[in-house]
Structure 1
Amino acid sequence: MEQLLVHCANAIESNDATLAQQILWVLNNIAPPDGDSNQRLTCAFLRALITRAAKSGTCKMLAAMANAHYNLSIDSHKFSVIELASFVDLTPWHRFGFTAANAAILEAVDGYSVIHIVDLSLTHCMQIPTLIDAIASRFEVLPRLKVTVVGGTEDVPPKLDLSYDELGLKLSNFARSRNIVMEFRVIRSSYADGFSSLIEHIRMQHFVYAESGEALVINCHMMLHYIPDETSSSSPSVRTMFLRALRSLDPTIVILVDEDADFTSNNLVCRLRSAFNYLWIPYDTVDTFLPRGSKQRQWYEADICWKIENVVAHEGLQRVERLELKSHWVQRMRNTGFRGISFGEEAVSEVKTMLDEHAAGWGLKREEDDLVLTWKGHNAVFATAWLPA
C-alpha cells in the first residue's frame, strides 16, 4: 500500500492524470474507510492525495471524478472540556508527556512561593488540573500559581467549544477547590512568528513584575513543531530564534514533549513515507480501546486525517505539521544554550504506573536523559527536560 501511495504521489506530481487515476482506483478498492487499521491509514492518505490532486494542473479533472465518490471534508469536532479530558485520557499519547513533565516540574519548583507556568500546549491546558492536584498533595506550603497560555492557535485540532477566558475561570475554580490561588492569562500570539508577542509579554512579566521566589516554567507540549522550520543561509530559523528568546528569559525549567518523527522534507514522497511509517501507530492503537462506529473513534481518526492531509496535500505556510525527530530538537536546545537534565526515578515510576492502565503494546525507554513512549517497540512520543546552561 505504501508503494502504491508513492507511485500515486509521483504520478500527481508529474501531472500524469491517467496513471494517477488507475492507482487511485486500485487503492480505492483495497483500502476501504471502514477496513482494518492499515486500510484506514491508507484511505486517509488516499483522501489527502486526492485533495492535493485537486490543486494541480490536469489532475483537476481526476479530483472532480474522485469528489463524486469521496466526501473530502474532515469532520472536525469541537470538544467540551469534559469530552476533551476523557479523550486525552484514552491513550498515553498525551498522558505520557503530562506525567513525565509534572514530575520534573514538581522537582524543579520545590521551595518557590510563586510558580509561573507558560503552557504551550496542543491540548488546551488539560495537563494543568493534574499538576494542581500534584502541587496540592505534595507541598506543605502551597505556592501561588500564574498560568499563561496562547490564544490564536484554534485552527489546529483538537478544538475546544469554549473560550480560553471561560477555560481559565474553570481552572481557577478548580485550583481554589485545592486551596491554591491561581491567576490565568491569555496572550494572543501565533506560532507563525515564533510566539514573539508571548515572549515579550513573559519578558515584561518576568523582569519587571516578577516577585521574589518566583519560578518560571516553560511547558511545551506538542506545540513547537508548528513554528516554521525553514532556515535560509542569511538568518536562523524561527524555531532557533524562539529557543534563543526562551533562553534569554532564564527559565527555571523547560519541558519539551513532542512526537518523534520527521515531516520537514520539501520532497512530497519523503514526507509521505515518513508520515505513513509513523502514523500507523495511532491507527493501530485505536483498535485496542475503541469499538468501530464509536463517536470517540471518529474524532480520534479525524484528528489523524487532518495531520495526514496537512503533511501531504499542502505546501508553504499552509503546511504546519512539521515534526522533527527528538535528536534534532536536542541539538537545537543545546545550540541555543540549554543543557538536558534526567528525569528522576519518581518520574519513571509514575509513567510506568500510568502505562499499566493502557494496552500491553505501550512501553517506555530511556535514551540518555530523555524518556520515550513506544508502541510495539516503535518510538511514538519523547519527553525532554532542560535548564539554562
Structure 2
Amino acid sequence: MQFTEAPPQSLHQMTPFSNPTMNKSQIHRTLPWPGFPTSKSLGSFGDANCMEQLLVHCANAIESNDATLAQQILWVLNNVIATPDGDSNQRLTCGFLRALISRAAKTGSCKMLAAMANVHGNIAIDTHKFSIIELASFVDLTPWHRFGFTAANAAILEAVEGYSIIHIVDLSLTHCMQIPTLIDAIANRHEVPPLVKLTVATAMEDVPPKLDLSYEELGSKLVNFARSKNVMMEFRASPSGYKDGFATLIEQLRVQHLVYPESGEALVINCQMMLHYIPEETVNVAIPSANSNPYDFECSSTTSSFRTMFLKSLRSLDPTIVVLVDEDADLTSNDVVSRLRSAFNYLWIPYDTMDTFLPTGSKQRQWYEANICWKIENVIANEGFHRVERPETRSQWVQRMINADFRGISFGEDAVSEVKAMLDEHAAGWGLKKEEDNLVLTWKGHNVVFATAWLPAA
C-alpha cells in the first residue's frame, strides 16, 4: 500500500511537530513534503508521540470529511514515517495507517480517500491459518497467552481438588492450547485421575488466530492426548459464539445441570481473552423469573448488556470456579479518536516485544503482526456489531464480576511461583505484579494482561 502522489498543495518549511493542540493551519505549516531527504532528518517525527498525534489529526480529518488535510497527513505517514519493515513504532503506525484508510473506505467519509484505497489495491489483512504445531509455537512466542494459562491452571487445580469429575468450559481465543498442560498437571497430581469433561464454543472462526482443522478433529486429538496420560476425557463442541453472549452454550449447560445432575462434579469456567468479544451495548430485556432462561428477552423498560447477562447466567449455574483472563486495556469508546489513542498506547507492546527475539522477515513475526493489524483495523475501521475487539480494563471486569454476585479469590503461592518460572523463559522485559487478589503481566512496567479467579458469592 503506497501513496506516492504529491500532496494536493505545497507547504512551508517543516518545524517540529509535538503540540497535540495544533489547529489545522498549524498542521499545514509543519507537515513535510517531497524534497525532504530521509526520515532520519525529521527529528521528532520519529517519536512515538508525534506518530500518535499525526494519526489523531488524520482521524479527525477523516471524521470531519476534510479529505485535503487527511490526504496530506496520510502522505507523511505513508512516505516518511510508517513502514512495514521499520522499527516497532513505524510498524505500529503502518498498522494504524492501513486502518484509517480502511475506515475511510468503509464509512464513505472522505470519498476521495476511499477512491484512493480502491486505486491502490486490496488492503485486506491476510491472517494465517495455523496447524496445531504452528499454533502451539505461536502461543509459546511470548507470555501473552501463557501467563493466563499458567495462572488459571494453578487456580483450577486447587479449586477442583477432591472432585471425581471435572467439567471444564473452555472459552479460549487460542483453541484449547491451554488444555494439554492442564491435563498433564491433572495426571501428575492424581494417582487415579478424575474424569474430565471438556466443552468448547466453536463459533469464533472470524477472529484470529485461526486454526486449519475442525473442532471435531481438535477434540479427537485432545481425547487421544488425555488417554496417553491415563486421563479419561469427554469432548463436546457447542455451536455457540460471542455475538449473543454464548446463549446456546449457557442453555446447554443449564439443561445438563438440571437434567443430568452428577454428584462430585466440578464446573470450571475458563475464560481466556474471549469475553471481550461479547457485545457490551445495552439491550432492552425482560426481567426473567427464577426458572426461566435470561436470554429469552423482549422489549421492556429494563436495560442490560450481553456481558452482564452472560455473567449473571454463569452465576446461576453455581460454578466451582471462574477464571477470567483478558487484556488490560479499554477499547470500548464510541469515539474513534479516543479508541485510536487507547489502542496506540497499548498495542505498541506486541510490536516492541517482537523486536527482542524475532528477526525482520521471519514468518512467525509476519503471522503475529498480521493478527495485531487485524485487531487495529477492527478497533479503528469498524462500528456497531462489526467492531468486536472491545477489551475492558481489569477494574471494569472486576466490577462486572462483583455486580454478577461473584467474589474474587487470591492466587496462591504456587500460582505465583509457576508464573514467575514461566516468565524466566522469556525476555527480561516481562514482569509480574500482584494487585489486590489479581495477577498482572507487565512489559517494561506497563500492564498487558490480567488474571482473576472467582467463586460464587455466598
| TM-score interval, normalised by the smaller of the two chains | over 0.9
For 1:290 and 1:111, locate their aligned partners in 2 and report how far apart those are by CA, in whole Å.
43
Tell me the distance in 1 between the aligned counterparts of 2:85 and 2:366: 11
2:95 is the alignment partner of 1:27: no
RMSD over aligned Cα, in angstroms? 1.1
CA contact (8 A) 1:339 1:388 kept: yes
Deviations 1:64-88 (A, max 9, x none): 3244446411111100011001100
Q: What are the superposed Cα offsets for residues 26-74 of structure 1, whole Å, 9 maximum, x if unpaired?
A: 0012111111000000000000000011134452322332444464111
Q: Distance in 1 between matches of 2:388 and 2:107?
A: 20
Partners of 2:107 and 2:347 lie apart in 1 by 25
Letter in structure 2 aligned against 1:248: S
Q: Residues 305-344 of structure 1: matches in 2 within 5 Å?
A: 305-344=373-412
Aligned counterpart, 2:194: 143
Aligned to 1:296, the other structure's residue is in SS state helix
Contact 1:79–1:161 (CA under 8 A) maintained in structure 2: yes
TM-score normalised to structure 1 length: 0.98
Whole-Å Cα distance in 2 between the matches of residues 60 and 102 of structure 1? 51
Aligned-partner Cα distance in 2 for 1:362–1:206: 41
1:118·1:217 contact (CA, 8 Å) conserved in 2? yes
5 Å matches for 1:1-389?
A: 1-29=51-79, 30-57=81-108, 59-69=110-120, 71-231=122-282, 234-389=302-457
Q: Secondary structure at the match of 2:101?
A: helix
Give the paired residue count. 389
- Out of 3-12 and 59-68, give the one that drifted further: 59-68
Aligned residues of 1:259 and 1:380 also touching (Cα < 8 A): yes
* Secondary structure at 2:145 match in 1: helix
CA deviation string 1:272-322 (max 9, x = no partner): 000000000000001112111011101000000000000000000100001
Q: Structure 2: which amino acid aligns with 1:134?
A: A
Supply the distance in 1 between the matched residues of 2:356 and 2:242 (Cα, whole angstroms).
Answer: 34
Shift in Å, 1:129: 0.2
Larger Rg: 2
Structure 1 CA distance for aligned equivalents of residues 343 and 109 of structure 2: 26
Report the Cα distance in structure 1 between the residues aligned to 2:261 and 2:152, rounded to whole angstroms. Answer: 23
**Residues in 2 aligned to 1:360 and 1:70: alpha-carbon distance in whole angstroms:** 40
Tell me, what secondary structure is at the counterpart of 1:35?
coil
SS of the residue 1:55 aligns to: helix
- Helix, strand or coil: the match of 1:175? helix
Check conservation: 2:330, 2:393, Cα contact below 8 A: yes
Q: Which runs of 5+ in 2 are unaligned?
A: 1-50, 284-300
Take 1:211 and 1:179, find their aligned partners in 2: how far apart are those partners?
Answer: 22
Q: SS where residue 282 of structure 2 aligns?
A: coil
Residue pair 1:41, 1:283 contacting (<8 A) in 2 also: yes
Q: Secondary structure at the match of 2:196?
A: strand
SS of the aligned residue for 1:236 comes to strand
Identify the range of structure 1 (215-224 vs 228-237) with the bigger mean alpha-carbon deviation.
228-237
1:234 Cα deviation after fit: 3.2
State the SS of the aligned residue for 1:189. Answer: strand
What SS is found at the alignment partner of 1:22?
helix
Tell me the SS of whatever aligns to 1:215.
strand
Contact 1:15 1:57 in 2 (8 A): no
In 2, Cα distance between equivalents of 1:229 and 1:380? 21
Q: Equivalent residue of 1:332, what SS?
A: helix
Partner of 2:47: none
Amino acid at match of 2:221: K
**Residues 105 and 117 in structure 2, CA contact (< 8 A), matched pair in contact too:** no
**Alpha-carbon contact 1:15-1:56 (below 8 Å) kept:** no
**Local SS of the residue matching 1:54:** helix
Secondary structure (helix, strand or coil) at the match of 2:304 reads: coil
Q: Give the SS at the match of 1:216.
A: strand
Q: Distance in 1 between matches of 2:103 and 2:71?
A: 13
Q: Indicate the structure whose relative CO is greater, using CA pairs within 8 Å and at least 6 residues apart.
A: 1
Moved more, 207-216 or 170-179: 207-216
Summarize the Cα distance change of 1:179–1:50 in structure 2 as closer, same or farther, 3 Å threshold: same
CA distance in 1 between partners of 2:266 and 2:191 (Å): 17
Q: Which structure 1 segments of 5+ residues have no match? A: none
